[in-house]
Amino acid sequence: MTSPLSTSNDWPAEGLESVSACPLCGSSDRMPIFSGLRDHFFGCAPGVWSLYQCERCKSGYLDPRPNQQTIGMAYSRYYTHQPPVIVSSRLRRIWHALRNDYLSARFGLKSADVMWPGRWLIRMFPVLRQGIDTGLARNLEPLSDVQGRLLDVGCGNGNFLDFARRAGWQVRGLDFDPAAVAAARAKELDVLEGTIALLDGERECYDRITLSHLLEHVYDPWETLANCHRLLKPGGVLWLETPNMNSSGRRVFGQYWRGLEPPRHLHLFSRKCLRDKIASIGFSHIEDHFSSFATGAMWRESQAILLKAGVDKRPGQSILGQLRAEIEALLSRESREFITLVCVKGR
């Protein structure tokens, strides 16, 4: 079953491609999930889009979708182009200062805005520590005396690369968005413009590779993961995070869920599909991690989409719905907003 290309008629017709089978497992058995999807969040991508769910692997994908020659149109006002957020409220300044003290103690990061009790207070509250370790530090471990090499694929404006560099890592980044690359290079970071194919001549030269909300954007995620396996040293670590197709938020907010982000998110993974593929590529010790900040962030941004779309908020989309989703996320990895995995290349 295929959908007519005219469903996205605001996008140039020659810039669309049909997807007749699941791009993740190849099955043609599917069911329609949403039609009439629009880019409400950034408001820069024209078109109306349809999302299907694969009956076999339970992942989702757009059909039709932009082709590789025109997908850049969807990134003209992306978040990686925006200036750094200035923290204005007193409570947020205090939180950032406490967080910076924790990061200083854990990674040796230097910051002018530090509040000393943070290193102890955050360790006393596992939920806060979990949110920082996963959401900000990407579960990095402090380095020993030997400097490790880190590659961030889809590095955006380089914020995480700058963090890792200050934590002692030798860093490098890749991104296909010229504006994002320019922002990263302005931080004096080593960033290449393009895809992971630029590193075809390299092998086993990185200790850690991170993919933060990248896989859902690329046309062949399995090739990207295979390349990461090739580029990692034996014993090297891959960290990745991507929206969860089967999350509580997708169920509650429906077509206004932040994780859909049409048409930039070409596909959305189920947890089992992603874990199974990672294992088949050759990674081991695959561990789920959880950011305690993820549900709150996705709820706020999904509520913002409702507002932009002119849709009234339902009771389940309020703070009570968020609290329920938080509890579900603690009890079930399948319902979390993000799939966050850390895995190891065998020695």
The pLDDT-based confidence of 84 (bands split at 50, 70, 90) is: low
Helix or strand holding residue 30 (H, E): strand 30-37
The predicted pLDDT at position 5 comes to: 39
The predicted pLDDT at position 226 comes to: 97
> What are the structure tokens assigned to 39, written together?
């880019």
How distant is the alpha carbon of residue 127 from its chain centre? 20
| Percentage of the chain modeled with pLDDT above 90 | 79
The pLDDT-based confidence of 305 (bands split at 50, 70, 90) is: very high
Mean pLDDT, the chain, as a whole number? 91
Concatenated DSSP letters of 231-280: HEEEEEEEEEEEEBTT-HHHHHHGGG-TTT-TTT--EEB-HHHHHHHHHH
Task: In whole angstroms, give the CA distance from residue 242 to residue 217.
Answer: 10
The predicted pLDDT at position 144 comes to: 76
For residue 101, what are the contacts with CB-CB under 8 A and spacing of at least 6?
Answer: 114, 115, 116, 117, 118, 119
The predicted pLDDT at position 86 comes to: 55
pLDDT in tens, 153-187: 999 999 999 999 999 999 999 999 898 999 999 99
How distant is the alpha carbon of residue 267 from its chain centre? 12
Task: In whole angstroms, give the CA distance from residue 289 to residue 242.
Answer: 12
- Residue 36 scores a pLDDT above 90: yes
Question: What's the mean pLDDT in 9-15?
Answer: 86
The predicted pLDDT at position 236 comes to: 96
Task: In whole angstroms, give the CA distance from residue 114 to residue 118.
Answer: 8
Question: What's the mean pLDDT in 59-64?
Answer: 98
Peptide bond connecting 263 to the previous residue in cis, omega within 30 degrees of 0: yes
Task: In whole angstroms, give the CA distance from residue 190 to residue 178.
Answer: 14
The predicted pLDDT at position 109 comes to: 83
Residues of the chain with CATH 3.40.50.150: 146-345
The predicted pLDDT at position 237 comes to: 97
Of the listed ranges 52-66, 72-86, 228-242, 291-305, the least confidently predicted one is 72-86
The predicted pLDDT at position 203 comes to: 95
CB count within 10 Å of CB 160 equals 21
Asked whether the CA dihedral 96, 102, 105, 109 is positive or negative, the reply is negative
Higher pLDDT, 8 or 285: 285
Q: Classify residue 209 as left (phi > 0), alpha (psi -120 to 50) or beta.
A: beta
Using DSSP's 3-state secondary structure scheme, residue 170 falls into: strand
| Percentage of the chain modeled with pLDDT above 70 | 94
Higher pLDDT, 285 or 87: 285
Burial (CB count <10 Å: 0-12, 13-18, 19+), residue 319: exposed
pLDDT in tens, 227-261: 999 999 999 999 999 999 999 999 999 999 999 99
> What are the structure tokens assigned to 161, written together?
């690369």
The predicted pLDDT at position 4 comes to: 39
> What are the structure tokens assigned to 245, written together?
């197709």
Assign domain 146-345 to its CATH superfamily.
Vaccinia Virus protein VP39 (3.40.50.150)
For residue 200, what are the contacts with CB-CB under 8 A and spacing of at least 6?
Answer: none
The predicted pLDDT at position 273 comes to: 98
pLDDT in tens, 183-206: 999 999 999 999 999 999 999 999
